[in-house]
Amino acid sequence: MSVNAEKKPTDFIRTIIEQDLARNLNDGRVVTRFPPEPNGTLHIGHAKSICLNFGVALQYPNGRCHLRFDDTNPEKEEIAYVQSIQEDVRWLGFDWGTNLFYASDYFERLYELAEVLIQKGLAYVCSLTAEEMRDYRGTLTQPGRESPYRNRGVTENLEMFRAMRAGRYPDGAHTLRAKIDMSSPNINMRDPTLYRIRRAHHHQTGDRWCIYPTYDYTHCISDALEGITHSLCTLEFEDHRPLYDWILDQLQGELSCHPQQIEFSRLELEFTVMSKRMLTTLVTGHHVSGWDDPRLPTISGLRRRGYTPASIRNFCRLIGITKAPNYVEMALLENCLREDLELNAPRAMAVLDPLRVILDNLPEDHLEELVVANHPQNDALGTRKIPLTRELFIERDDFAEHPPKGFKRLVPGGEVRLRNAYVIRCQEVIRNPQTRAIEALRCLVDLETMNKAPEGRKVKGVIHWVSAQRHCKVQVRLYDRLFTIPQPADPKAGGSFLDHLNPDSLRILEDRPVEESLARAQPEQQVQFERLGYFCPDRRDSKPGQPVFNRSVSLRDSWKK
RNA sequence: UGGGCCGUCGCCAAGCGGUAAGGCACCGGAUUUUGAUUCCGGCAUUCCUAGGUUCAAAUCCUAGCGGCCCAGCCA
């Protein structure tokens, strides 16, 4: 399914855009941008923003969405992240064409415009220390006080700002601040910092600059320079909108447009964490294997887990765009994957907890090649051959000596259908003489039941199996939710979010028998292990002929005891 | 008595003055060589609360209540 073919969602932002178009604002242009800071990898929350921004642009014949790195804080940013972010956006199915930008592309222009603000008496060089500035800022309930440097003359401000750029002051000695209103109830308007002195190597501009502009100053101007029409961001920037507008208003003569900032609520997902800080803690503290650990909600993690781009896009469509706080259930995400894979994933059989079965009425060397469909509904997926031999493995919990009510699987003296093969009857349970543990089952196979129901009786159970003589053995990783509670990041949950890590979020099973055909499974090719779930060869750890399977999601199971 | 924003089913979410869409989850039931899928059916006399306006309110007004965000030279 192409990105374009997916059903178009509607939401309050798209409604605003339609209205703007109807009023012929922006000459009918629709230009959005996805502006990540390259200081971490993308997660599903970013996917929501990506789908919104690129999705909106795709809806209009001349719509565009820029990918712009918001790289104004070199101390925290790395080139590796600018690579991984591009890979993730592309993998999700979006294309920025030639519109790849960096806020750092605009450093020179940003600097010039800062001089314009100084010249207009709207910005000044402040020599307060960081602590002093905090003190002067006031609190949420008390107004701030004006900096003693607030009324420095234009000439001196200009000289000092140029000296800042020239590297004549140590880091942190001065800042450039906007002259707005220290008594504003909106703290962002209390003379916000525009530039700081920081001798840090920048991944794009190297050592050309020792002063760096702040987000608030940079973002609105970058948007304007790129001709963005709708600057979509999350709710926490609502309080920044007055500043966004203030800067663009003061620079009106210098810039050709004034983009509209619209905020929407960020995505929260149950049983995981989404904040960059917490994700970083999980990675650096080795609570997970890396940014692409399949238990993480990162794009690369979901990818490794076996999520498809279409399933993530569909998820983002289903959750919608609003301003309401939202905590989405993991079940919705999982359902999106199942929905995609149900149609598209070929089926195969694997036994994760093997119990040996001996088919007594077959000769030792019995070998029957069964031709079976790769998908029960989708014939286009073709067929494959699987060997039926005298000994096979079935799932240990598909047999019960003392079955619970409603048990439809194998019981002593009972019958069950082997998926894609014959009906068998359990004749005898073989036990370990010492431990009394069940070691194997002796069964009789009814050769009249291939592709047809047995005479005069009903067999309701169907179980999967793998030949004990002809199979390959693989490692299987069973993933579960990373946390034990729905909102681990909520301080009301008590303790640190790390206290709620699920100790059983990963179970590694070694040497599990699966169909021989699976030895050729390629990384990222999802397959359904029948009756178990969807699995996907790990793209990091699989080797040719030796796949390692990650369980992406289990099958829905209405048989819960 | 700082500012901004938000409150419609367990979770998302339509609705924008004309008498509560949809998806997920859940519960039935049918079909089924995956207890899967598919299919049918059920699932808010009620929209945070209380008043008010109106023939008519989730939608308008007023007053409350609850929740989220903001005091980086982070984004």
Q: What is the pLDDT of residues A82-107, one digit of tens each?
A: 999 999 999 999 999 999 999 999 99
Same domain, residue pair A297 and A336: yes
Q: For A186-203, how does the pLDDT look when each residue is reduced to its tens digit (9 = 90+)?
A: 999 999 999 999 999 999
3-state secondary structure of A492: helix
Other Cβ atoms closer than 10 A to A428: 14
Nucleotides of strand B lying closer than 7 angstroms to a protein CB: 2-8, 10-16, 22-27, 33-38, 67-75
Same domain, residue pair A331 and A369: no
Same domain, residue pair A507 and A486: yes
A432 CA – B36 C1', rounded, Å: 34
Q: Is the C-beta atom of A129 closer than 7 angstroms to strand B?
A: yes
DSSP code, position A285: T
Total domain count for chain A? Answer: 3
Is the per-residue pLDDT at A8 higher than 80? Answer: no
Q: Which of residues 66-85 of A touch strand B (CB under 7 A)?
A: 70, 72-73, 76
Closest CA to A176 of A134, A114, A241, A229: A114
Same domain, residue pair A377 and A457: yes
CATH number at residue A172: 3.90.800.10
pLDDT value at position A6? 54
Residue with tokens 């999106």: A336
Same domain, residue pair A363 and A340: no
pLDDT value at position A560? 72
- Residues A529 and A464: their CA atoms lie apart, in Å, by 9
Q: Which of residues 236-295 of A touch strand B (CB under 7 A)?
A: 236-240, 265
Q: Tell how strand A193-197 and strand A211-213 pair up.
A: antiparallel
Q: How confident is the model at residue A493 (pLDDT cuts 50, 70, 90)?
A: confident
Q: Is the C-beta atom of A170 closer than 7 angstroms to strand B?
A: no
Q: Is the C-beta atom of A530 closer than 7 angstroms to strand B?
A: yes
Q: Which of residues 318-337 of A touch strand B (CB under 7 A)?
A: 318-329, 331-332, 335
Residues 6+ apart with CB under 8 A from A141: none
Residue A85 belongs to some domain of the structure: no
- Residues A542 and A75: their CA atoms lie apart, in Å, by 36
Residue A42 belongs to some domain of the structure: no
Asked if A540 and A292 count as a contact pair (C-beta separation under 8 A), the reply is yes
Residue with tokens 């009756």: A531
Q: For A366-419, how does the pLDDT look when each residue is reduced to its tens digit (9 = 90+)?
A: 999 999 999 999 999 999 999 999 999 999 999 999 999 999 999 999 999 999
- Residues A424 and A418: their CA atoms lie apart, in Å, by 7
Q: For A56-73, how does the pLDDT look when each residue is reduced to its tens digit (9 = 90+)?
A: 999 999 999 999 999 999
Is the per-residue pLDDT at A561 higher than 90? Answer: no
Other Cβ atoms closer than 10 A to A155: 10
Asked if A335 and A349 count as a contact pair (C-beta separation under 8 A), the reply is no
Q: How confident is the model at residue A5 (pLDDT cuts 50, 70, 90)?
A: very low
Looking at the annotation, which residues of A are catalytic?
37, 266, 276
Same domain, residue pair A477 and A336: yes
Same domain, residue pair A393 and A490: no
Asked if A262 and A13 count as a contact pair (C-beta separation under 8 A), the reply is yes
Q: What average pLDDT score do residues A247-259 get?
A: 97
Q: For A411-462, how does the pLDDT look when each residue is reduced to its tens digit (9 = 90+)?
A: 999 999 999 999 999 999 999 999 999 999 999 999 999 999 998 899 999 9
**Counting beta carbons within 10 angstroms of the beta carbon of residue A311, is it exposed (0 to 12), middle (13 to 18) or buried (19 or more)?**
buried
pLDDT value at position A456? 87
Q: Is the C-beta atom of A134 closer than 7 angstroms to strand B?
A: yes
Q: What percent of chain A has pLDDT over 70?
A: 98
Is the per-residue pLDDT at A517 higher than 70? Answer: yes
A333 CA – B39 C1', rounded, Å: 24
Residue A256 belongs to some domain of the structure: no
Q: Which of residues 17-46 of A touch strand B (CB under 7 A)?
A: 35, 37
A265 CA – B43 C1', rounded, Å: 28
A249 CA – B62 C1', rounded, Å: 36
pLDDT value at position A532? 98
Residue where one domain finishes, among candidates A418, A442, A463: A463
Q: Is the C-beta atom of A7 closer than 7 angstroms to strand B?
A: no
Residue A239 belongs to some domain of the structure: no
Strand partners, A537: A549
pLDDT value at position A85? 98
A528: containing domain: 266-345+470-561
CATH number at residue A440: 2.40.240.10
Is the per-residue pLDDT at A523 higher than 80? Answer: yes
- Which range is least confidently modeled, A227-231, A454-458, A465-469? A454-458
Q: What is the mean pLDDT of chain A?
A: 96
Q: Is the C-beta atom of A137 closer than 7 angstroms to strand B?
A: yes
DSSP codes of every residue in A207-238: TS-SEEE-HHHHHHHHHHHTT-SEEEEEGGGG
A458 CA – B33 C1', rounded, Å: 12
A36 CA – B12 C1', rounded, Å: 25
Q: For A108-156, how does the pLDDT look when each residue is reduced to its tens digit (9 = 90+)?
A: 999 999 999 999 999 999 999 999 999 999 999 999 999 999 999 999 9
Same domain, residue pair A136 and A207: yes
- Residues A192 and A459: their CA atoms lie apart, in Å, by 75
Q: Is the C-beta atom of A558 closer than 7 angstroms to strand B?
A: yes
Residue A222 belongs to some domain of the structure: no
Beta strand segments in A151-270, E: 175-178, 193-197, 211-213, 230-234, 260-264, 268-269
A318 CA – B37 C1', rounded, Å: 21
Same domain, residue pair A525 and A560: yes
User: Which nucleotide is closest to the Cα of A333 by its C1'?
Assistant: B24
Token pair of A8 as six digits: 């178009």
Same domain, residue pair A457 and A493: no
Q: Which of residues 408-437 of A touch strand B (CB under 7 A)?
A: 408-409, 417, 419-421
- Residues A489 and A38: their CA atoms lie apart, in Å, by 23
Q: How confident is the model at residue A7 (pLDDT cuts 50, 70, 90)?
A: low
Residue A406 belongs to some domain of the structure: yes
Residue A184 belongs to some domain of the structure: yes
Q: For A36-59, how does the pLDDT look when each residue is reduced to its tens digit (9 = 90+)?
A: 999 999 999 999 999 999 999 999
Closest CA to A476 of A512, A504, A527, A502: A512
Strand partners, A445: A424
pLDDT value at position A492? 85
Closest CA to A186 of A123, A239, A249: A239
Residue where one domain finishes, among candidates A434, A463, A492: A463
pTM of the model: 0.96
Residues 6+ apart with CB under 8 A from A528: A341, A342, A345, A346, A347, A348, A534, A535, A555
Q: Is the C-beta atom of A500 closer than 7 angstroms to strand B?
A: no
Q: What average pLDDT score do residues A336-344 get?
A: 97
Same domain, residue pair A385 and A291: no
Strand partners, A429: A441
Same domain, residue pair A386 and A448: yes
